[in-house]
Chain A
């Protein structure tokens, strides 16, 4: 027969100071782990979930980013003729020639690098599924107008609709868009020719985006571009391009593992300590339980359960402590473009589940030895204590 759960809970309440201190220790381990996982979840969203598998990005051969691109404008009509490209609302191939330039914006007395993307009108349509306008309107062709992402609007002063922005000259903000946590969320968008003119990039393109009709066509388009010896261009799916830029996350992930692992070992020691004390206090009680007829197995289970319960309490406190950080936005830099990538820390369901499993794991390991010790003691010796 199993020992009732209420026995464990009452015991934990009886020694509330010890219970609370141990749970707090576990909570701190959980908070550091949750903190790192929130960072990673936000970063993953900003990089990995960016891009669309149907968009084919074209760069100069050998170029690693849209910034170091640069091919002549005469290649764009050739690209537009390629098979498998979707058509836009005007019946034209959905292709956008683009320039990405890095501009500096002032914030808190320093200057931060931000990405300005000049695109053709089709550029908006190509990304229709990933961004939506939340205020104002899109920029008009031939006008010195920009739309800014919502996170730029939130992080930099004077970025409301109607304000004027200084990007090597005055630009009018006409709209705000939401990139849904993707890399677009760190960008400012404008008309290709205006950007090329202002930043001395006429006669060339930094990159081009082709919208394929389906996944098979996207793959074919990509190979078509790569294999064409005359074009001297490189093609890749937009998703592949962003995948390559996540190298930043690797270091933080490794750091996260080291931190979580070390803190967890410390917590396991602490949990074991508490459980040994709990067992020692109750040695006569345990013997009595045995006399009543509870089996050794039930006692082992009961104490391991108590340890897990302690860890779960810790996990709950830990997650509660981290709640205020949810939705906080922070930034890292794209190591390819050297410009700021904004992302928000997020407590996702998977973060919570991982934290809980992590805590259960700590409780289990910390509880096994003391529980085993409790069950193994001779009844008579324990009763005499």
Chain B
């Protein structure tokens, strides 16, 4: 009988206990893996395109609900290092009905330069031309079109809520996203809103800015804000990623939230596996003495017990990570926040090994002390033990 086989046999000696321990480890670990994936979805940047690092967002200093004057666009264009500027406007509105199922992002923008700033969105040139020519035209993500069964030429009506206007749009083109980051948005010509709504005239929600190189990002964003610091409408410029994170920061202290729950999960695993190993070592005090009599060294005995715990932690960990995968793929179909989970799903392959690693580490730490104790028990004392 090899040592590995011995460990395996011992691990499954009390099948019920092993099963329960695996379950008790798998569930906190599922949580850990789930939260780590979410964390990566929030703060990681693997999915975003290279262009994203070269893009800045300029908005009103106070908040997105305050407009910035449209003429800022030309002023920003003249700042050295700025390649292109396009105004963006969050329209909100209602498509069909006000349910989450029919909610997606709708932005007003400038068709002439929009796709120059977002090169990761690819659209057939003839469709782009058609959009530029039709003031009441719009373009949408292929995935979004698939969801609602839209085809080029279809009519899409969006009733405004912030803006008192009904947009009667014609779908002129469909674009594909060439990166993993989902888009799921519809874009139309902002002129349509500006012409119909008096208070929207000459205003922009925010500007998307493409900078000529990643090196000039910091300088340009500083220059823009300095330019408008004393203007009636001061601005705040940040990278596209920081802009996205600022929405998240609004929810509250997400980092602290995830950290607190994750550490509770890890401590739970530590306690559970420590408990199990302590129970089985206690039962086997006499056996350990017998093993020693047979000539097994302390080191081997230490290894046997730690190996057993590691094995159980590994199975529990892998199981937990797999259920997390199931949870994430389920959540990515959710009508609300599904996009976030879709990114988290992509991140799972990075976080799962880390989560399993954490389970192994917890298993090791919790078994080391009782296993060390067992390896040091004297033979005679152990043989006398009544358990």
Contact = CB atoms under 8 A, between A and B. Distances in A.
B125 interface: no
Interface residues of B, number: 46
Given A62-B162, A263-B28, A273-B276, A251 B251 contact: yes
Interface string A247-290: 01001100000110011011101101110110000000000000
22 contacts: A18-B275, A21-B271, A21-B278, A24-B271, A25-B268, A62-B161, A62-B162, A64-B162, A70-B199, A102-B66, A104-B61, A113-B63, A200-B232, A263-B268, A267-B24, A269-B23, A270-B20, A273-B17, A330-B252, A332-B252, A337-B65, A338-B62
A337 B268 CA distance: 40
B93 to A, nearest CB: 10
Interface string B55-73: 0000001111110000000
Interface string A335-364: 101110000000000000000000000000
A220 interface: no
A63 interface: yes
A226 to B, nearest CB: 15
A18 B278 contact: yes
A259 B27 CA distance: 10
B44 interface: no
B261 A270 contact: no
A331 B252 contact: yes
A259 B31 CA distance: 7
A277 B279 contact: yes
A101 B31 CA distance: 40
A259 B232 CA distance: 46
A61 B25 CA distance: 55
Given A265-B27, A339-B63, A332 B251 contact: yes
Nearest to A274: B275
A22 B26 CA distance: 16
Interface in B13-48: 16-17, 20-21, 23-28, 30-31, 34
Contact of A22 (B164, B265, B275): B275
Contacts of A149: none
Contact of B253 (A102, A104, A330): A330
Interface in A201-247: none
A265 B23 contact: yes
Contacts of A65: 65
A67 B65 contact: yes
A62 B250 contact: no
Chain A interface mostly helix, strand, loop or mixed?
A: helix
B65 A263 contact: no
Given A18-B279, A28-B271, A259-B261, A266 B26 contact: yes
Given A28-B264, A252-B251, 14 more contacts: A17-B278, A18-B278, A25-B268, A25-B275, A29-B264, A35-B260, A62-B162, A68-B162, A102-B62, A258-B31, A262-B31, A266-B26, A267-B24, A273-B275
A92 interface: no
A251 to B, nearest CB: 7
A104 B271 CA distance: 46
Interface of B: 16-17, 20-21, 23-28, 30-31, 34, 61-66, 160-164, 199, 232, 249-253, 260-261, 264-265, 267-268, 271-272, 274-276, 278-279, 327, 337
A186 interface: no
A68 B271 CA distance: 53
A103 interface: yes
B268 to A, nearest CB: 5
Contact of B62 (A25, A113, A272): A113
Closest 5 CB pairs of A and B: A333-B250, A266-B27, A338-B63, A269-B24, A269-B23
A272 B199 CA distance: 65
A269 B144 CA distance: 43
A276 B17 contact: yes
Given A68-B162, A269-B23, A263 B250 contact: no
Nearest to B17: A273
A32 interface: yes
Interface in A103-131: 103-104, 113
Given A62-B162, A248-B251, A333-B250, A25 B27 contact: no
Contact of A31 (B264, B274, B278): B264
Nearest to A25: B271
B366 to A, nearest CB: 10
Given A28-B267, A68-B162, A273 B251 contact: no
A272 B20 contact: yes
